[in-house]
Chain A
Amino acid sequence: MSPLLDVRGLVQRYATAKPLFGKANDIRAVDGIDLTLHEGEILGIVGESGSGKSTLGRMLLGLERPWQGEVRYRGQPMPAPGSADWRKLRADMQLVYQDPLAALDRRMTISRQISEPLEIHGLAKGEDARDRVAALMARVGLRADQADRYPHELSGGQRQRVVIARALASRPRFLVCDEPVSALDVSIQAQVVNLLRELQERERLTMVFISHDLKVVRNICDRVAVMYLGRVVEIASSDRIFSDPRHPYTRALVSSVPKPGQGLDGRIILKGEPPNPASRPSGCAFHPRCRHSDAGCAATRPELAEHDGRLAACLKLGHARPVAA
């Protein structure tokens, strides 16, 4: 399989908004990530708020320029945002994000919203565009009579379908979904997850699925990368990561998901605070919350290395042969 997307040494940093008093701080939202994404695969990215998932997603799409490192799409470097090449690429890659109401223009009908990318990229006009919109609506499970409705007249799940239809209008090959079902109720969430899976299977889309909902990620993703403070700490197939997590953070994360019909027993309760990118601990960023950590963890930053068919970045996983990711 040829890699669709190849990411090397990606770093993004932001200066925090300067407070009224005091000094602005530098924050490394993403701090050295290597990734390869194959055509037709769904990669899940999980992690807590502040782990850099969304920043990574935006850099994969070329919506943000990395401070260091590079993203190659089909072997070519990502063009600069705003350039003509970059604009051409927009039809090829799309973003679906969390809040469908914010993503849609309140004053435009559903069919107008969906046909907009067709006009922007000059893909279809008039009768042709209308047919395409109808086909897209049918494909995401919207009724034809909803074409002239406005976003506020639809339910949350239907709005997310509109957002997905619009994202698919330009026939993209690569989709980044940033928390696409987090705002939806359980029964509706399942509808949208199934829709995304069907679309992906039918069109062999490549997808990055960013979510903090591990159960959904488990269901939809082929491979999962676990992020902590801007770095990937473990990456493996979905089956492996959820049945046999190795990195202490992944283990805590997986065990923290409450299972219906089970009490609190046997769960790993992490001590301490969620990661704060503004004050990154030395060495392994997870060490202050890790029950296995020792002095070495505070001093040395672990790199991703192969353990039992997955890559994990932890000094306590025994001596494994480091590999290039």
Chain B
Amino acid sequence: MIRFILAKLARAFLTILLVVTFAFVVLRLSGDPAQVLLGPDAPQDAVDAFRARWGLDDPLWQQYLAYLRQILSFDFGVSMRDQSPAIDLVLQRIPATLALTVPALILKLAIGIPAGVYAALHRQSVADRGVIMMSIFGFTIPSFVLGLVLVLVFAVRLDWLPSGGQSSWRHAILPIATLSIGGIGILARFSRSAMIEVLGQPYIRTAMAKGLPWREVVWRHALPNAAVPIVTLIGFMLGALIAGAVVVESIFSWPGIGRLIVVSVANRDLAVVQCLLLVIAASMVVANLLVDFSYGLLDPRLRAKPAH
């Protein structure tokens, strides 16, 4: 068990290191921050001073080692733009992002799974067909299109909801809807097929042959088995949350980390981008660890076999 946890943690650490390294290399090779921050017309000596100030003239591997030393001592650098610590900028933005992604995730689970399970239990019914259609609709429309359509309908045409900003809870409705609709569709579709698969298993017939009422067959025998593949999908969804936030926060001018990424990349604010990627990678790794551990809880076959 301890070996297992250590192996998992080692792998998690490696993943984060790879992400950080990749981000470092790509960012350095894809444009000069001095040019972007100071503008194309900046005098040469200002550019040179800027480069010296941020160590951009050193060889790449030296910069990289310096950077690694920094983050290992929990120093995530300062923004090239306004000199404030990068980690503070990122942490400031996290609550706003969570205010969108957490409700969106809850909606996905709370609507997607029951809809899929209901459809599986009532196959070929009107409700089943409805769920299939809605889920196809949900996951085929890209979120940037969906977001714009929602803005057009509910903000521009009907004027029910604001189209952007963050001043009240009403501002959050459209972004959360945009973030969750696709996921609800995918989860409904997937839960439906997972459930149908489980319902066809011999142990379901056994449970029925025992005389269990149908409700109990579903709750005690079908759902716990269908949960295993569904949790896998939820793991993927956790990973995709940030990507969704980037798009949605941009559309709705929501000041979360999604927008911070876009702005910082555009500005070549290296420290902030790297810090963001580090935080995102860490949260994905944690999400994956949680999924791995919940496998063991859900399916005893994936646990250790006692020696006997």
Report A's interface with B, CB cutoff 8 A: 19-22
Q: Considering the complex, give the chain A residue whose CB is closest to the CB of B8.
A: A20
Residue B170 is within 8 A (CB to CB) of chain A in the complex: no
> Which residues in A have their C-beta under 8 angstroms from that of B302?
19-20
Interface residue total, chain B, C-beta cutoff 8 A: 8
Between A and B, 18 residue pairs with Cβ closer than 8 Å are: A19-B302, A19-B303, A19-B304, A19-B305, A20-B4, A20-B295, A20-B296, A20-B302, A20-B303, A20-B304, A21-B1, A21-B4, A21-B296, A21-B303, A21-B304, A22-B4, A22-B304, A22-B305
| Bound-complex Cα distance A22 to B296 (A) | 13
Chain A residues within an 8 Å CB radius of B1: 21
Mark B293-304 against chain A: 1 for CB-CB distance below 8 A, else 0.
001100000111
Q: Name 8 extra pairs, CB < 8 A, besides A20-B296, A21-B4, A21-B304.
A: A19-B304, A20-B4, A20-B295, A21-B1, A21-B303, A22-B4, A22-B304, A22-B305
Q: Given the complex, which residues of B lie within 8 Å of A22, measured CB to CB?
A: 4, 304-305
Residue of A nearest to B5 (CB): A21
Chain B residues with CB under 8 A of A19: 302-305
Neighbouring A residues of B303 by C-beta, 8 Å: 19-21
**Could you tell me the distance between the alpha carbons of A20 and B301 in the complex, rounded to whole angstroms?**
9
The docked-state distance in angstroms from the alpha carbon of A167 to that of B303 is 42
The distance in angstroms between the C-alpha atoms of A235 and B28, with both chains bound, is: 72
Residues in B whose Cβ lies below 8 Å from that of A20: 4, 295-296, 302-304
A interface majority secondary structure: loop
A19 vs B302: C-alpha distance when bound (angstroms): 7
Distance (Å) between the CB of A274 and the closest chain B CB?
A: 15
Give CA–CA (A22, B304) in the complex, Å.
Answer: 6
> How far is the CB of B158 from the nearest CB of chain A, in Å?
52
Q: How far is the CB of A20 from chain B (nearest CB, A)?
A: 5
Q: Which residue of A lies closest to B299 (CB)?
A: A20
Complex Cα distance A19/B295, Å?
12
CA separation between A21 and B303, bound complex, in Å?
6
In the complex, A28 Cα to B132 Cα: how many Å?
A: 49
- Complex Cα distance A20/B7, Å? 11
CB-defined contacts of B304 to chain A, threshold 8 Å: 19-22
CA distance A22 to B4 in the complex (A): 8
| Alpha-carbon distance A291/B51, docked complex (angstroms) | 86
**How far apart are A104's CB and chain B's nearest CB, in angstroms?**
25
What distance in Å separates the Cβ of B94 from its nearest Cβ neighbour in chain A?
Answer: 32
C-alpha spacing A19/B4, complex, angstroms: 10
Q: Which 4 A-B pairs have the closest CB atoms?
A: A21-B304, A22-B304, A20-B302, A21-B4
Of residues A19, A20, A21, A22, which shows the largest number of chain B Cβ atoms within 10 Å of its Cβ?
A20
A20 to B1, CA, bound (A): 9
Taking the closest CB of chain A, its distance from the CB of B277, in whole angstroms, is 29
Q: Which residues of B contact A21 (CB under 8 A)?
A: 1, 4, 296, 303-304
Contact residues in A for B4 (Cβ distance below 8 Å)? 20-22
CA distance A22 to B307 in the complex (A): 10
Closest B-chain residue to A23, C-beta based? Answer: B3
A21 to B305, CA, bound (A): 8
- Minimum C-beta distance from B116 to chain A (A): 27
